[in-house]
Structure 1
Amino acid sequence: MECRILHIDMDAFFASVEEARDPRLRGKPLIIGGDVDGTRGVVSTASYAARAYGVHSAMPMVQARRLCPHAIFMQGNFHLYAAASRRVKEILDGVSPQVQMASIDEAYVDISG
């Protein structure tokens, strides 16, 4: 039997979780990271609307604020993201008994059958 492994990478996961929690955020530039009001923070993720302005992960928050000053800046809520990741894993476990979470937003699923 041929081995088939599905790689799942949930792009902009933190932003998507925040949008699911608060639908008013959908379609708006949303930037999540640390020290959102200071000068030392880094972007954890940016919604697709924020990415359109050149904002990306690992960018200094100060630079993100310059590129997209009208964005919604949020401190990350990692308990919320971990809970969402567990829910995704539960769904994937229903697809295959062989699920390996590589990170909070990435998984490998054996779909060999």
Structure 2
Amino acid sequence: MTGGDSQTHVTLSERELQVIELVASGLTNQDIAESLEISKRTVDNHISNILNKTKTANRVALVRWALQSGKVCIDDVNCCTLPQLTDEEPEPEPVHEQIEDTQEIEDLG
């Protein structure tokens, strides 16, 4: 896969996405097989199909592709969390800043 080439419009099955997440978390094919309760050979086939679909050469390139295309999120890497909007009022200003503001007003008056 070349630097600017992002195959983000690749259609992957739910199982293939699960496999990518587990590859990205560092699991071996045997570990993935145990985690998903499938055979290692099935995992090998899934990974081969995924590499072909994504046009990536290896597991590292696959994880890079998955992160760049937003297919996986690992330990908050490449995950955009927007601040939550709430109806709460902002936190009050610390007391020492309130005192400084009051002193400035007294000095002006």
Q: Higher relative contact order by CA 8 Å / sep ≥ 6: 1 or 2?
A: 1
TM-score normalised over the length of structure 2 = 0.29
Of the two, which has the highest radius of gyration? Answer: 2
Higher strand proportion (structure 1 or 2): 1
